[in-house]
């Protein structure tokens, strides 16, 4: 494990991070407990001094600048593959490769993001229809209704958790609807996904350990749909049941359920953290909040992009080199890995002016929070719509609120470093207007 020497951080939720660095002692490891507790000061040193940083223990290079991450994730020419997973645990990275890594076997099939085209594109296309822009637009009324139902209950309480009780339940309910699960299991789904993303210092998130808990929801659903004939009325699960691999074989029930994990996990966890953190940032800047409120329909979509840039919790995604790749004079050999530090790219001064400042109307031409290239987030259109509606409905109905800073919880993580819990008290609100 690399040392975390030379970094002194005075980090307060209500102020900018103050960092003192003794660069001669600097080291970086994504699984270092100090990095998992607050990676931002490490990212700054990486961008400034080590844009291609080699972590010997994992035979892995960390890329921290926006342009480099943009290039790597946009390459669909076979230079990089995701055969070892896009979020490999330390136990995977500990096994060094002697050369190019083969694709996984077709059966038992892992999550389809471990493959490139044609398999990846085929599986993705088989169940992506409900998440395409036109179909997502048709979900707006349901999102708005769910948001206001939550607000009706929560505002009557006065105090609640902004992450879990508001955005968390809405996002989990949307996932349940997409997959064919009943809405009343949404709180359980939310809790299961949150628990599965907690990380152990020194090891990171281990999705293999959490997977059985996820599959308890999904495998029975797949079994039921197969027995009912998969007639297309549940397009995500039915599309996967109908899909055939290039060799003509079908997916088993567990394999179908495994392919649904991207929607199940990603659709549940990320949006609530972005929404809660974004509303907090706006509340701390009354002038910016007033500017957004001046025209919610026009301004919330603009503010949404800055909120995504500033608040998105995903830290990095991994790729394994299949061909030599040279960046900043360093050649990465086949079999070696790259981790693309999305959260560092979001704070890169070369892409964004004053990136550590939150500016609701910042001009943003490019974002990496949802990835890029063939592996870009399947639910990106739904995520943007949910964020827009959740923030808009909140600002319509909540005139003032206060965050319990001492109780806010942002657990250490090598991946989803976000505010899991943001307790708030609402001091002024308006009743529902029938939205």
- pLDDT score at 429: 76
User: Which domains does the chain carry?
Assistant: 70-429 (1.10.630.10)
| Tokens (6 digits) for 222 | 């797949």
Distance between CA atoms of residues 421 and 410, nearest Å: 7
8 Å CB contact between 247 and 106: yes
- pLDDT score at 207: 64
8 Å CB contact between 289 and 300: no
Residue with tokens 């049941």: 241
Q: Is the dihedral of CA 42, 43, 48, 54 positive or negative?
A: positive
Distance between CA atoms of residues 43 and 58, nearest Å: 18
CA 139-141-147 angle, 5° bins? 105
- pLDDT score at 155: 97
**If you compute the radius of gyration of the chain from its CA atoms, what whole number of angstroms results?**
21
- pLDDT score at 204: 64
Q: Is the dihedral of CA 213, 217, 218, 220 positive or negative?
A: positive
User: Coil, strand, or helix at residue 403?
Assistant: strand
- pLDDT score at 289: 98
Instruction: Give, in order, the Cα–Cα distances in Å from 304 to each of 271, 277, 360, 392.
Output: 11, 11, 8, 10
pLDDT tens-place string over residues 124-139: 999 999 999 999 999 9
| Tokens (6 digits) for 66 | 């926006």
User: How many of the other CB atoms lie within 10 Å of CB of 44?
Assistant: 21
- pLDDT score at 16: 42
SS3 content of the chain, % helix, strand, coil (to 5): 50, 15, 35
The mean pLDDT values, 10 residues at a time, for the chain of 435 residues are 42 43 78 95 98 98 98 94 93 95 95 92 97 98 98 97 98 98 95 82 65 92 97 97 97 97 94 98 98 98 98 96 98 98 98 98 97 94 98 97 97 92 90 63
What is the pTM for the complete model shown?
A: 0.93
């Amino acid at each position: 494990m690399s040392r975390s020497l030379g970094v002194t951080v005075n980090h307060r939720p209500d102020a900018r991070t103050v960092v003192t660095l003794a660069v001669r002692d600097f080291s970086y490891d994504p699984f270092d407990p100090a990095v998992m507790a607050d990676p931002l000061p490490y990212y700054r040193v990486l961008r400034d001094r080590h844009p291609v940083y080699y972590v010997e223990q994992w035979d892995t290079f960390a890329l921290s600048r926006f342009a480099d991450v943009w290039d790597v994730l946009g390459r669909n020419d076979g230079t990089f593959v995701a055969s070892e997973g896009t979020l490999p645990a330390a136990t995977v990275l500990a096994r060094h490769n002697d050369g190019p890594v083969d694709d996984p076997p077709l059966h038992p099939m892992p999550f389809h993001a471990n493959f490139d085209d044609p398999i990846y594109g085929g599986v993705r296309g088989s169940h992506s229809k409900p998440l395409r822009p036109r179909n997502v637009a048709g979900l707006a009324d349901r999102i708005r209704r769910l948001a206001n139902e939550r607000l009706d209950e929560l505002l009557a309480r006065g105090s609640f958790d902004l992450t879990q009780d508001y955005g968390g339940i809405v996002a989990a309910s949307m996932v349940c609807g997409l997959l064919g699960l009943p809405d009343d299991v949404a709180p359980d789904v939310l809790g299961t996904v949150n628990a599965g993303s907690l990380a152990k210092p020194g090891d990171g998130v281990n999705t293999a350990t959490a997977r059985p808990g996820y599959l308890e929801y999904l495998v029975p659903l797949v079994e039921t749909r197969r027995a009912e004939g998969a007639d297309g009325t549940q397009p995500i699960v039915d599309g996967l049941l109908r899909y055939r691999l290039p060799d003509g074989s079908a997916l088993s029930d567990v394999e179908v359920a495994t392919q649904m994990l991207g929607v199940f996990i990603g659709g549940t966890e990320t949006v609530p953290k972005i929404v809660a953190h974004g509303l907090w940032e706006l509340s701390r800047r009354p002038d910016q909040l007033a500017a957004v409120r001046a025209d919610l329909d026009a301004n919330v979509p603009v503010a949404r992009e800055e909120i995504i840039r500033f608040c998105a919790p995903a830290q990095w995604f991994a790729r394994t080199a299949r061909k030599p790749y040279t960046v900043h004079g360093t050649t990465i050999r086949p079999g070696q890995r790259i981790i693309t530090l999305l959260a560092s790219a979001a704070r890169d001064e070369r892409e964004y002016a004053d990136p550590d400042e939150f500016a609701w109307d910042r001009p943003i031409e490019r974002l990496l929070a949802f990835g890029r290239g063939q592996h870009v987030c399947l639910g990106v259109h739904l995520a943007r719509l949910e964020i827009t509606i959740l923030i808009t409905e909140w600002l319509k109905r909540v005139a003032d609120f206060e965050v319990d800073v001492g109780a806010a919880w942002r657990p250490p993580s090598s991946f989803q470093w976000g505010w899991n819990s943001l307790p708030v008290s609402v001091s002024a609100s308006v009743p529902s207007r029938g939205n």
